[in-house]
Chain A
């Protein structure tokens, strides 16, 4: 049972200050070889990552909640992840 909408609808209720510049970069080749790509799709609570038909990983960086889960689980060099520039990104109103 899904309550309170799907993840996209839920994120729409959050407040974000979206930067033009992405703070996330996937190395497609390493991500595919190591299986990190599929793993990121599963573990990210904000559904930032998606698998494209050609097997590459799409990154919707604007949805990121900045938890760091992807960074902690990614194989070495598969992912470049840092915090967004100061003032940008998620702005929790509750926390």
Chain B
């Protein structure tokens, strides 16, 4: 086997210190492997941005007291789904103390979380190399044998690409082509500082508890996508996610859509007197199942996290960090087995698919395969919010005209709406199947 003869600098090189890369590197180091983790940011996390809800149960497999020890912000016990219209909104406000025990989701700020994850890697023996950009993979006889960064070459038996949504490495390996615009969205986000006490009072939460808003409709000026607003300890993460094809087609300016949302009469009061701490943006994945349909491995190479396409956007939740962690764990298992055999060819790497299939990552990617198509329905971004508030407007505005029963009120609202009753029922069915 040629790889037996190879002089290596480490057993495994991981490219990218996000959630996927750090979790994978940590698992490998704990299994006794020598790991180099290369990150282009001056500090792990410096390049990373998410909306900020981490469905964090998976992290218990890696760090038994993750919620207690990691720099997490708040435990999400209240979820608000909001249909936002120009002068109204319709909210489904779901609070459940059971979501706190065990903790199901937390808010995080990636610059802080990823730095902590990298520290855990170092403690486990990983050699973390920040401030270095990997430029390309090194191949020998069709097998990936290392990476090139500037003038430097580093060799390993296996390379893991955890370099995120723009993965240049997956493209170089011939695994991913240029992604169609409808599979991608840009998130434009502000972090607004507010005193802890103000957040507690304004959002009706106490202690470590927090709230997550998912919004559709007027937040995006009707472009496909949505708005989000999450409470941190002493700040609010707020912004919009805009599907790239629709952003282009509707002729919108991304920063204006962001401003429109933050200035919306339903949102602005939640941010009042806040101080802007940071303005950022990042690409995210709209159609993970379509993106992850390509190969996930080459001889000596595995791709994990966003680089592979593991994000699920169902409209109600955006999940990428938990899938990044899950795929990192599955990749580490695959690699540990390959080391037992002492061979790192295509067949050895292909075991990754099986490992993924045995976890929630593989299962959920299948379950939600239809969600992106469902979210294509343009009615989601405009008509339903208006219809709902129309019905409730008729119920609550007791002017002096004679009242009607709810059924008649609803029928009236449907008549005025662009949505036909049968269409709405059809969409509901579709939603039930897709989400």
Interface string of B234-253 (1 = CB under 8 A from A): 01010000001001100111
Instruction: Please tell me if B259 contacts chain A, counting CB pairs below 8 Å.
Output: yes
A86 CB contact (under 8 Å) in B133, B247, B254, B279: B133
| Residue count of chain B within 8 Å CB distance of chain A | 60
Instruction: Please tell me if B26 contacts chain A, counting CB pairs below 8 Å.
Output: no
Most chain A Cβ neighbours within 10 Å, of B50, B114, B130, B277: B277
> Which chain A positions have C-beta within 8 A of B280?
14, 65, 90, 92, 94-95
**Known contacts A44-B254, A72-B181, A73-B248; is-contact A93 B278 (Cβ 8 Å):** yes
What's the least CB distance linking B355 to chain A, in Å?
Answer: 29
Instruction: Please tell me if B109 contacts chain A, counting CB pairs below 8 Å.
Output: yes
Stretch from B38-46, B196-204, B208-216, B344-352 forming part of the interface with A:
B38-46
**Known contacts A90-B46, A94-B109, A94-B191; is-contact A68 B276 (Cβ 8 Å):** no
Instruction: Please tell me if A39 contacts chain B, counting CB pairs below 8 Å.
Output: yes
* CB nearest to A65 among chain B residues: B281
B41 CB contact (under 8 Å) in A2, A46, A69, A87: A87
> Which chain A positions have C-beta within 8 A of B329?
none
Q: How far is the CA of A66 from the CA of B55 in the complex (A)?
A: 25
**B window 138-183: CB within 8 A of A:** 149-150, 165-166, 168, 178-179, 181
Most chain A Cβ neighbours within 10 Å, of B41, B49, B109, B276: B41
Q: How far is the CA of A83 from the CA of B410 in the complex (A)?
A: 53
**Known contacts A10-B276, A86-B131; is-contact A95 B49 (Cβ 8 Å):** yes
> Which chain B positions have C-beta within 8 A of A67?
186-187, 281-283
B133 CB contact (under 8 Å) in A1, A4, A73, A85: A85
**B window 75-134: CB within 8 A of A:** 109-114, 130-133
Query: When the two chains form their complex, are residues B271 and A3 in contact, meaning their CB atoms are under 8 A apart?
Result: yes
Q: How far is the CA of A11 from the CA of B190 in the complex (A)?
A: 11
What's the least CB distance linking B238 to chain A, in Å?
Answer: 10
> Which chain A positions have C-beta within 8 A of B137?
none
Instruction: Please tell me if B313 contacts chain A, counting CB pairs below 8 Å.
Output: no
Interface string of A1-32 (1 = CB under 8 A from B): 11111010011011001000000000000000
B40 CB contact (under 8 Å) in A72, A86, A92, A94: A86
Query: When the two chains form their complex, are residues A3 and B282 in contact, meaning their CB atoms are under 8 A apart?
Result: no
Instruction: Please tell me if B47 contacts chain A, counting CB pairs below 8 Å.
Output: yes
Query: When the two chains form their complex, are residues A72 and B179 in contact, meaning their CB atoms are under 8 A apart?
Result: yes
Query: When the two chains form their complex, are residues A94 and B277 in contact, meaning their CB atoms are under 8 A apart?
Result: yes
> Which chain B positions have C-beta within 8 A of A69?
186, 244, 254, 281, 283
In the complex, given contacts A68-B283, A91-B47, what are 4 additional A-B residue pairs having Cβ atoms less than 8 angstroms apart?
A: A69-B244, A87-B130, A92-B47, A92-B48
24 contacts between A and B (CB under 8 A): A2-B259, A3-B259, A13-B279, A43-B253, A45-B254, A45-B255, A45-B281, A46-B255, A67-B281, A69-B281, A72-B184, A83-B40, A85-B133, A86-B150, A87-B41, A89-B47, A91-B41, A91-B46, A91-B47, A92-B47, A93-B277, A94-B278, A95-B48, A95-B111
Interface residues of B (CB under 8 A from A): 40-43, 45-50, 109-114, 130-133, 149-150, 165-166, 168, 178-179, 181, 184, 186-188, 190-192, 235, 237, 244, 247-248, 251-255, 258-259, 262-263, 268, 271, 274, 276-283
